[in-house]
Amino acid sequence: MNRMRILIAATLMLLAWPAGAQKYACVNTDYVLKSIPDYANAQKRLDKYVADWQAELQEKQAELEAMQADYEQESYLLPDNLKKRRREEIKAKAQQIRELQQQRFGTGGDLDRKRAELLKPVQDRVYAMIERVANEKNYAFVFDKAGSATVLFANKKYDISNEVLELLGYKPGATPQAEPEEKSKRPSNPEMRGTDRRQGARKPTIREQNNRARNK
């Protein structure tokens, strides 16, 4: 609903402008950012933090489930005071997990801070170049067509994405250089090296040669 309102408002503004009175352009920020190696490396580092935090939460959750399972198996043997204590320990553990989840992934938490630390500097560079192009070419509006429902059509003539990349010092259309993968080790055994060759390339053994001679 909000996107539809924005679309209607943007359309009305465009219709209200006198022809030729305002200049506008569009940019695909997803395309620009994914073409910058610094951004790809920053995203990879952020993903590593997220994976580590998720593993941490999964470990804490497994501990909680083990505590609950142990209590269910032993509760009938425990006196009331120990049952109460164990239930309180389980409750405290569950609260600890909720607080840790909020700390890592909640609003203003570790994920938001790391995203601002790693990604925002690159994003700020991109936005600065967009503003520079807009000022130099006197664009009144620059629309971002990256996954936006408010841009129904954008003529490539007015797409400044490649111009922004060039100002940032990157070649348009080029993808970030991927890290080289470790070469697979070839087997040291000569017979194993030959397994990827065509069948019949192996030299016959002496016994096989003698058997062939007897059969002739």
- pLDDT tens, residue by residue, 169-196: 887 766 655 454 444 444 444 343 444 4
For residues 25 and 124, membership in a common domain is answered with yes
Same domain, 63 and 122: no
Cβ within 8 Å of residue 75, ≥6 positions away: 83, 86
- 191: Cβ–Cβ under 8 A, 6 or more apart, which residues? 202
CATH code for the domain in which residue 159 is found: 3.30.910.20
From residue 81, how far is each of 10, 16, 59, 70 by CA, in Å?
A: 66, 75, 28, 16
Average pLDDT over residues 46-73: 96
* 177 lies in some domain: no
Same domain, 106 and 136: no
CA distance 17 to 174: 37
Report the alpha-carbon distance of residue 208 to residue 202 in Å, rounded.
Answer: 12
- Given a cut of 60, whether residue 59 has pLDDT beyond it is yes
Measured distance CA(165)–CA(145) in Å, rounded: 16
Q: Is 89 part of any domain? A: yes
Residue 193 resides in a domain? no
- Contact (Cβ atoms closer than 8 angstroms) between residue 74 and residue 37: no
pLDDT band for position 131 (cuts 50, 70, 90): confident
The mean pLDDT of 136-163, rounded to a whole number, is 70
Predicted model pTM: 0.61
The half-sphere exposure of 132 on its side-chain side, counting CA atoms within 13 A, is 13
Q: Which of 29, 37, 31 is nearest to 129 (CA)?
A: 29
Residue 162 belongs to a domain: yes
Residues 71 and 107 reside in one and the same domain: yes
- Predicted confidence at residue 82, as pLDDT, reads 93
On whether both 124 and 32 belong to a single domain, the answer is yes
Collapse the DSSP code of 25 into the 3-class scheme (helix H, G, I; strand E, B; otherwise coil) and give the result. Answer: strand
79 part of a folded domain: yes
Residue 155's domain comprises 21-36+118-168
Q: Is 111 found in the same domain as 131? A: no
DSSP state, residue 78 = S
Q: 91 with 30, same domain? A: no
How many domains does the chain divide into? 2
| Tokens at 137, concatenated | 């070419």
Q: Is 155 within the bounds of a domain?
A: yes
130 and 87 in a common domain: no
Alpha-carbon distance of 177 to 99, in angstroms, equals 39
Q: How many CA atoms lie within 13 A of 36 on its CB side?
A: 24
- Residue 2 falls inside a structural domain: no
The model's pLDDT over 15-37, given as tens digits with 9 standing for 90+, comes to 444 545 567 888 888 888 988 99
